[in-house]
Amino acid sequence: MKHVMMRPRSLFLLVLLYGLLVTVFDLDYNSVFIDEAYHITMGRELLRGDPCPGCPFATGSPRIHPTLAAIGDIAGGIHGARIVSLVFGLGLTAAVYLASTLLLGEALGVLAAALFIFTGQTLYLSKLATYDMTAAFFLGASFCMLVLSTRVASERHRVFAIVFGSIALFIAAATKYLLPVFMPALGLYVLFSHGWRRTILYCVLPIAALGALYVAFEQFAPGVIVRGQIETYRVITVPLKTIFEWAFRWIAFVLLLAVFGVFHEKHGKKAAMLIALGSPIILLHLVTRAEQSVNKNMIFALIFLVPAAAIGVDHMARIFSSGTRSRAVRVFFAAAIVTIYWAYGVFNLKWLERQYPDVTPIIEFFDENGFDGMVVAMNGWDGVIYEYTLADRFPRAKWINLRDVDAADYPEPAFVEHVDFVVCEDLFYGKITPCEQWQEYIDRDFALVRNFTIEHSWGFTDATIYGRR
Amino acid sequence: MSAIVTLYYLYWRVTSTFNQQALFFSWSLWIAECFGAITTFLFFFAVWRPRYREAPPAIPGRTVDVLVPTKNEPEAVLRKTLLACGDLRYPHRTLVLDDGNRPAVKKLCEELGCVYLARETHEHAKAGNVNFGLAHSTAEFIAIFDADHAPLPWFIDRLIGYFADEKLAFAQAPQEFYNIDSFQHRADHEKKYVWTEQGLFYNLIQPGRDRWEAAYFVGSCAIMRRAALDDVGGFATGSITEDMLTSVKIHAKGWKSAYHLEPLAYGIAAETIHPFHIQRRRWSLGGWQVFFTANPLFVRGLTFPQRLCYLGSLIYPIEGFQKLVFYVTPPIVLFTGVLPMQALDITYLMHFVPYYALALFAYNEMGRGYAGYLLLEQFSMGKFVTYLQSFFSLLLPRRLRQFKVTPKGEQPSAPHALLAPQIAVAGGSVLGIVFALWMLLAGRRSDEFIIAVNSLWALFNSGLALAIIVYARSKFEQRRGDFRLFDSVPVRVGWDDGGKPVRRGAVAEDATETGLSIVAAGEIPKNRDLSLEIELPRVTVRATGHVKHAKTAAAGNDVVGRFGVAVTGVTGELDTLSRYLRESSVAKFLAEYSTRYRTYLDKRLAKEPERRERAPRLPAPLPASIAANGGRPALGAIRNVSDTGMLLASREQLAAGDRVAVEIAFREDAETLRGIVVRVVERGSDEYPEWVAGVRFENTGVDAINRIVAVATALSTLR
């Protein structure tokens, strides 16, 4: 019988195909998430040329991703917007593959790509129309360029690779203002690989030039947005032990494999370097104790940790095969570890898909019982979800926060504006402003219309809709 | 540092991590971890400063009796040992103590000039047999060898000098084994590295214990002072491991011991898992017996370090229980979701990973390159049920605890049932992984990290089990009864080709008394009676044989072949061949293998980089006529060749700087390679000297080099 061996490149294409199929057939996994709705709404306004002063504060992504998401939305609704992330997700997988192949060889490159696509966060963020995957792609591309710069023979190509890497890092940072946190680590990589002149070329020159242009021409001053985000982080801080557990929950397995990689005879030092490169975002969360987006932000660490984990898998497979010289045995054990990782990733993916409320029942309620021009007040800031979802059906409907209509200082309890429906959801979007504080007005002027129980991966929440009496 | 971290980890485990809902499970795992820590500490203590002794000059004029206890070992095996005993240079008498009462052995003793002694009753197994021998000995010193352990001629000369110290009771040499394809060896023939399960004990633990005056007698390959034995009432009979019990008694009486780390005798290691299992079961049962009857913690007269060293050697069978816990824990967690700790989270890993990594690092470094953690784990997997059985057999009446001699030198076979525990571990682990992953994917479990970590642990355990199963099975169907010793012995092969005598030069690349594997530049016919002239240094052994299997390959116009030759009769001196194989081949062969690997610190602190080959070398065992500095050509062999040089095995002395002309005879013509000797190593023995020389080509045409490289390449396809 002819012995058939698949070439690594074919395996890589299979990995991409897996990511594509798993994602593209499950774009309806949940109702629109608040950040998705913000991004797309903002993108639409940007495309129309309208200013959108509130959007940058809420999203931290002034232009790049919202515009792309809105284009996707125009082409295919929320599916189109999510497919934009899928494209970046697959592109990022390719960047991880390329960087790992250049660093570690083709077999480990494919292994890294497989681990990356099997990671729950990768697949989840590949179908979440937020800026995370876009930013991650450019960060990955920057790293890939840096690795490429150490491999190309021509001096000119080396400089090009570094400059392109710098530009990619700039775009990543302009997409999500959090990402300059990686610059010191990547700068050190360039310093150790190329010396201080190229480090300046990577870290200073293009980024300073592009940054100056950006600040000069950007209509939403980045400084204000960053300050706003820092304020938000200050509000949403948790104890160190909690943030420790939350942060490591998303990287624990990959980090465990990566630590094994450090003991790899041939690539151990590279594994250590990759762990160090991936650590800034983890340290940032631990130092600030900010829980906001911790699960999503770990994707940036994974770009570096996954190749280290691939080294770890190779090392573990050697250990598990008890020193046998048989390649087949090693491949078997590597495949077994990857299978465990895959199941772990699928579980995490399912968890992530249900971490945010599926508000489909609320949307369906308004679809059936709402009317154009209605005013719906809610105790969270999730009105943008309904605005986005029901805009075509009720273009004049208003979705506002209860605080915006609160008339507590009036002589008698009332809303300052006519409100047709009140939506109370106290455990997720409305957890900072529970409905309790308006319960008196609500009981007086409204009647309970519908009560929903929303199932999450972490428990249940209630959503209650009141209609005017 | 590792010890401190380990103590902290164990303290943290017991105070902060126990699962109150599964206390038995929690305690079991913790106790197993504690046992690991205790054995590791005892190991660190024993090997802290190993003592490597230089042999003192022999003291002349003493009387030595060599005792060889035997029961059911094959006569061929015993013959080799007795021949070797006869070759011992120091004046001695050889006493064969036959507990098998075999007439053939009696006849053999008469032939070889040994004293034959046989008991009528066989109480106290080997110890009783040796005591019986003692009763017939009047010598001042007793050398003792197992029936399969053949000493080198200088064995007594190297050890007897230690007895200048009147307080020295025994001098022990390591038990070396030449059959490196045995169950307890793992050989990498490409890297020329061999690991043996007992390597750590003989190369490090015994020298370490020697520092504490606690090296112990291992039942063979030792010389003992008769007065010391008399002082403790002869060989101890309270345990089936009489050697350790005797050592405890001797040390308790204040006698000293010496461990001399030099291969002075070679034996046969357990070939398959079956004899290995019997041997280890006997040792561990004996260990338990010593533990309960002469516990070194309580025996009077031992020093504190001696007590700790003996404790380390006695408690190791508890490892059976420890490993059982380690092997069943992952499947239990995977099947039930019950943890032996409160949580398996990042906090736990942040304690466990540094502790474990540091402990492994420390163990590896303290193992001085003999430890081989993974292989030791593999053998622990192979032995854990053996140890458990030995413990439970303690509960049996004494008459049911039979003393079984380790079967050696027989066509190996092994019952598959011995592998049932490993199959159970592998099967249980894999099923546990599949079950837990299925539960996870079905949404019935949400402890994903616990499942992931325990799956990796279970996978590790199944890897160990599979390695044992695969290796043991590969030994079940071993083709050859005898291990063939790799060598480069020139052989002249002759046969009758239709009335025309043909002679061809060849090289035997491995040999036993019953067969050779030879390489020749040309064909050798099958089914033809062959005459063989095996050219040993200084002597030629003539034999007859026939080709049993042949493989040939073309290299340009040349043909090379590898032929398996069965020796049907030795017309000359068979014992000479045996003697050569034992004295020269074994030492030369084993000298090529490293038994020690470089630890991390070795690599970091090494002042000189590892020697690297200038060019890739191809084995080319070809007969050659070697002439040095224009002198008379002598028969030798090429070992390997590259495009820049070659390695020669010469029977004539060579020195660095010599210019050599090496002629290789092919079927039609001959090729001469010239070069300069760049380094020489003397191998072999006094009686069978040999020089291995590295030669760099000079004044040799490219065509000639290409031809020999092509032949070597063709030969490499015949493996």
- Contact state of A322 with B437 under an 8 Å Cβ cutoff: no
Residue type, B421: P
Q: How confident is the model at residue A409 (pLDDT cuts 50, 70, 90)?
A: low
Q: Considering CB atoms only, which of A252, A329, A343 is closest to B437?
A: A343
Q: How confident is the model at residue A327 (pLDDT cuts 50, 70, 90)?
A: confident
Spatial distance between the Cα atoms of B535 and B488, rounded to a whole number of angstroms: 10
| Mean pLDDT (chain A, rounded) | 87
Q: Is B443 on the interface with A (CB under 8 A)?
A: yes
| pLDDT of B572 | 57
What are residue B95's DSSP bridge partners? B67, B115
Spatial distance between the Cα atoms of B312 and B39, rounded to a whole number of angstroms: 6
Q: Considering CB atoms only, which of B188, B346, B375 is closest to A244?
A: B346
In this structure, are residues B219 and B269 in contact, taking their beta carbons and an 8 Å threshold?
A: no
Token output for A418: 């006519």
Q: How confident is the model at residue A62 (pLDDT cuts 50, 70, 90)?
A: low
Q: What share of chain B is helix, strand, coil (3-state, %, to 5)?
A: 45, 25, 35
What are residue B194's DSSP bridge partners? B187
- Contact state of B374 with A346 under an 8 Å Cβ cutoff: no
Chain B residues in contact with A347 (beta carbon < 8 A): 440-441, 446, 448
CATH code for B64-269? 3.90.550.10
Contacts of B78 (CB under 8 A, 6+ apart): B68, B70, B96, B105, B108, B147
Token output for A390: 């029901």
Chain A residues in contact with B446 (beta carbon < 8 A): 347
Select from B16, B346, B348, B435 the residue whose CB has the most chain A CBs within 10 Å, as the one to mutate to test that interface: B346
- Contact state of A339 with B437 under an 8 Å Cβ cutoff: yes
In this structure, are residues A278 and A301 in contact, taking their beta carbons and an 8 Å threshold?
A: yes
Spatial distance between the Cα atoms of B88 and B149, rounded to a whole number of angstroms: 13
Interface of A with B in 329-388 (CB under 8 A): 329, 333, 336-337, 339-341, 343-344, 346-348, 350
Element spanning B571, H or E: none
Q: How confident is the model at residue A308 (pLDDT cuts 50, 70, 90)?
A: very high
Chain A residues in contact with B433 (beta carbon < 8 A): 336, 340
> Where is average pLDDT lowest: A452-456, B28-32, B272-276?
B272-276
Chain A residues in contact with B347 (beta carbon < 8 A): 244-245
CB pairs under 8 A between A and B: 80
Token output for B508: 């035997």
Per-residue pLDDT at A220 exceeds 80? no
| pLDDT of B567 | 84
Spatial distance between the Cα atoms of A394 and A225, rounded to a whole number of angstroms: 31
> Where is average pLDDT lowest: A330-344, B115-129, B412-426?
B412-426
Q: How confident is the model at residue A259 (pLDDT cuts 50, 70, 90)?
A: very high
Rg (CA), chain B: 28
Token output for B693: 């020389």
User: Which of the given ranges, A108-112, A413-417, B515-519, B673-677, has the highest pLDDT on average?
Assistant: A108-112
* Residue in B360, B687, B638 with CA at minimum distance from that of residue B509: B638
| pLDDT of A209 | 75
Closest residue of chain A to B463, computed from CA coordinates: A320
- Contact state of A341 with B459 under an 8 Å Cβ cutoff: no
What are residue B664's DSSP bridge partners? B671
DSSP assigned state of B405: P
- Contact state of B463 with A333 under an 8 Å Cβ cutoff: yes
- Contact state of A319 with B345 under an 8 Å Cβ cutoff: no
In this structure, are residues A22 and A346 in contact, taking their beta carbons and an 8 Å threshold?
A: no
Spatial distance between the Cα atoms of B664 and A428, rounded to a whole number of angstroms: 87
| pLDDT of A380 | 84
- DSSP code string of A234-258: HHTB--HHHHHHHHHHTTHHHHHHH
User: How far are the Cα atoms of A379, A443, A464, B24 from residue A436, in angstroms, in the given order?
Assistant: 10, 11, 12, 48
Per-residue pLDDT at A279 exceeds 60? yes
Spatial distance between the Cα atoms of B486 and B621, rounded to a whole number of angstroms: 11
| pLDDT of B407 | 60
The model's pLDDT over B573-630, given as tens digits with 9 standing for 90+, comes to 777 888 888 888 888 888 888 888 888 888 888 766 666 666 678 888 888 889 888 8
CATH code for B613-716? 2.40.10.220
DSSP-derived 3-state class of residue B63? coil
Rounded to a whole number of angstroms, the distance from the CA of A265 to the nearest CA of chain B is 10
- Contact state of B449 with A253 under an 8 Å Cβ cutoff: yes
- DSSP code string of B81-149: HHHHHHT-SS--EEEEEETT--HHHHHHHHHHTPEEE--SS-TTHHHHHHHHHHHT---SEEEE--TT-
- Contact state of A252 with B449 under an 8 Å Cβ cutoff: yes
Closest residue of chain A to B453, computed from CA coordinates: A253
| pLDDT of B474 | 78
Rounded to a whole number of angstroms, the distance from the CA of A28 to the nearest CA of chain B is 20
In this structure, are residues B209 and B296 in contact, taking their beta carbons and an 8 Å threshold?
A: no
Q: Is A240 on the interface with B (CB under 8 A)?
A: no
Check for a shared fold between B485-591 and B613-716. yes
* Alpha helices for B240-318 (secondary structure H): 242-252, 273-293, 304-314
What ranges make up the beta strands (E) of B436-514? 485-497, 500-511
Q: Is B705 on the interface with A (CB under 8 A)?
A: no
Per-residue pLDDT at B299 exceeds 80? yes
pLDDT (mean) for A157-166: 91
Domain extents in chain B:
2-46+318-476, 64-269, 485-591, 613-716
Rg (CA), chain A: 24
Closest residue of chain B to A340, computed from CA coordinates: B452
Q: Is B343 on the interface with A (CB under 8 A)?
A: no
Spatial distance between the Cα atoms of B674 and B199, rounded to a whole number of angstroms: 41
The model's pLDDT over A360-374, given as tens digits with 9 standing for 90+, comes to 999 999 999 999 989
In this structure, are residues B436 and B455 in contact, taking their beta carbons and an 8 Å threshold?
A: yes
| Mean pLDDT (chain B, rounded) | 87
* Residue in B214, B209, B220 with CA at minimum distance from that of residue B69: B220
Closest residue of chain A to B437, computed from CA coordinates: A343
Element spanning B576, H or E: helix B574-580
- Contact state of B464 with A253 under an 8 Å Cβ cutoff: no
Chain A residues in contact with B378 (beta carbon < 8 A): 322
> Where is average pLDDT lowest: A156-165, A408-417, B47-56?
A408-417
Chain B residues in contact with A245 (beta carbon < 8 A): 345-347
Chain B residues in contact with A268 (beta carbon < 8 A): none
Entry field: residues in chain A = 469
Q: Is B434 on the interface with A (CB under 8 A)?
A: no
What are residue B624's DSSP bridge partners? B636
Task: Enter the pTM of the model.
Answer: 0.85
Q: Is A266 on the interface with B (CB under 8 A)?
A: no
Closest residue of chain B to A315, computed from CA coordinates: B460
Chain A residues in contact with B439 (beta carbon < 8 A): none
All domains in chain A, ordered by first residue: 8-353 (no CATH), 360-468 (3.40.190)
DSSP assigned state of B232: T
In this structure, are residues B250 and B169 in contact, taking their beta carbons and an 8 Å threshold?
A: yes
DSSP assigned state of B400: G
Candidates 3.30.1330.20, 3.40.50.300, 2.40.10.220, 3.20.20.70; correct CATH number of B485-591? 2.40.10.220
Spatial distance between the Cα atoms of A43 and A84, rounded to a whole number of angstroms: 13
Tell me the HSE value of B650 on the side-chain side, using a 13 A CA sphere: 29
> Where is average pLDDT lowest: A227-231, A289-293, A350-354, B101-105?
A227-231
The yes/no answer to whether this complex scores an ipTM above 0.95 is no
Q: How confident is the model at residue B457 (pLDDT cuts 50, 70, 90)?
A: very high
Spatial distance between the Cα atoms of B126 and B129, rounded to a whole number of angstroms: 5
Chain B residues in contact with A329 (beta carbon < 8 A): 466
